[in-house]
A and B are shown apart, each in its own frame.
Chain A
Amino acid sequence: MNERETLKQTVLAIAGANPRKCMKCGKCTGACPAFDEMEVPPHRFVSMVEEGRVEELLGTRSLWLCLTCFACVERCPRGVVPARFIEAVRLVQVRCQGQNHLKAEQIPDALDEELPQQAIVSAFRKYSK
C-alpha cells in the first residue's frame, strides 16, 4: 500500500464509517452551521476522503470549525456520518507530535469570568492530545 492509501485506511478505521455510501447530494453541507467558513465543507470532505486526498485535508479550517453538532449526521439520507471523517482527520493531525491546535499556554488569555469549564475540557478533547 502506498502512503496515500495507508493514510486513507487509517482515517476509515478511526471513523468507522464508509464514504462510498455518499451520493453527493450536499444535504450535509446544507445543514452545517459552519460550512461557509470552511474551505472544505462536509460533502466535499467526505468525497476527498473517499478519493484518498487526506493529505490535503490536514490543516484545513474545517477541522477546527466543525462543531460536532451532528446536524449533517442527522440529515444525511445515506447514513454516511460526515462528522466522523472530520473527527478522524483531526485526530490524524493532533496525534502527531507538536501538532496540537490548542495549547495550555493559550488558556489564560481565552478565559473570562463566565466561561464554563465544559468549554475548556471539550476544546482540549477536540483540539489536542
Chain B
Amino acid sequence: MTFSYYPGCTLRTKAVQLDSFARKSAEALGVHMQELDEWQCCGGVYPLAKDEIATKLSSVRALAAARDRGQELLTLCAACHNVLKRVNHDMQTDETICDRANRYLQLPEPYRGETTVLHYLEMLRDRVGFDRLKEQVKNPLTGMKVAAYYGCLLLRPSNVMAFDDPENPTILEDFIRAIGATPVVFPYRNECCGGYVTLQKKEFADSRAALLCRSAAEAGAEAVITACPLCLYNLQRGADENLPIYYFTQLLARALGVEEEAA
C-alpha cells in the first residue's frame, strides 16, 4: 500500500516525533508513505473567508501533486489534515473558489478536488484495518488506561471532515483497543484545548488545558493521546507529571516494537 504523504512544517521541527513514530510504524505494517516532492506550509488554520484564495493555494498544490501521482494523500498533523480536507472540499463544491484557484495556479491540468485526503488514523481504520493492526502488535499495552483526546480539528465541521461521529467518536478508542490498551472516555475529549490563543492569552489557554486534563485524570486515565502538536503543547502545560501526553503514533510504535528505532 502506497500513499502520498504531506508532513507539514511542525512535523519537521517541534513535532518530529509524531512523524518518525508514524513512519516506522507504517514500515512495520507494510505501508509506504511517499512524501510529496515539494510541499509548502498549509497555514495552520483553514481560511474560512469566502474571498480568500491565495491562502488556500499551498493546499491545492499538494492535492494536485497527489492527484498527478494517482495516489491518496496521507496526512498526520490534525491541523494540516483539517486544512487540506476543507480546501479539497471547496475545490469539489465551490465553483468560484475552484475557478479562481485554478486561474492563479495555471496547472497543466486544472484541479477539481479529485484527490482523497486520508488521515493516518483513517488509513489504519479503513485501509489497513484495526483487526489487521491488532495481529501485527508485538507488545500489547495490556492494562494501560489511555484517554483519547480528539480536540476540534479531526472532527469538525463533521459534514466536511466525515471522520467520525463529532459528538461520540470511537476511532481513537478502537485504535487504543487494537494496540492492547484500555480506552478511557472522558467528557472533554472533543472540546478545544485553547489552540492558537495560547500565543496571546496564555492564562486562558492554560485554564482550558488544565480543565481537560483534570477531566481525563478523574475518568481514570494514565495517559492521554493526541494527533495534534498544538494540542500536545497545550495539554502538557495543563497536565501534572502523573499524566503523560503522547502522540498516538508513539504508542503505536511501542505496540509494534519499533519505538526505540524511531525515537
Contact = CB atoms under 8 A, between A and B. Distances in A.
Interface of A: 13-16, 33-34, 37, 64-65, 67-71, 73-74, 83-84, 87-88, 91, 101-102, 110, 114-123, 125-127
Contact of A114 (B45, B191, B201, B236): B236
A127 B201 CA distance: 13
Contacts of A125: 43-45, 47, 55
A37 B44 CA distance: 24
Contacts of A123: 196, 199-200
Task: Name A's interface SS.
Answer: helix
B166 interface: yes
A71 B195 contact: no
A65 to B, nearest CB: 7
Which bracket fits the contact residues of B? 35 or more
Given A71-B152, A84-B48, A116 B43 contact: no
B14 A67 contact: no
Given A87-B48, A115-B14, A116-B13, A65 B156 contact: no
B41 A13 contact: no
Given A67-B195, A74-B158, A116-B233, A121 B9 contact: yes
Given A91-B49, A116-B15, A122-B44, 4 more contacts: A37-B204, A71-B191, A74-B166, A115-B198
B9 A118 contact: yes
B157 interface: yes
Interface of B: 8-10, 13-15, 41, 43-45, 47-51, 55, 77, 79, 152, 155-158, 166-167, 191-192, 194-201, 204, 208, 229-230, 232-233, 236
A70 B160 CA distance: 12
B45 A122 contact: yes
A50 to B, nearest CB: 18
Nearest to B199: A123
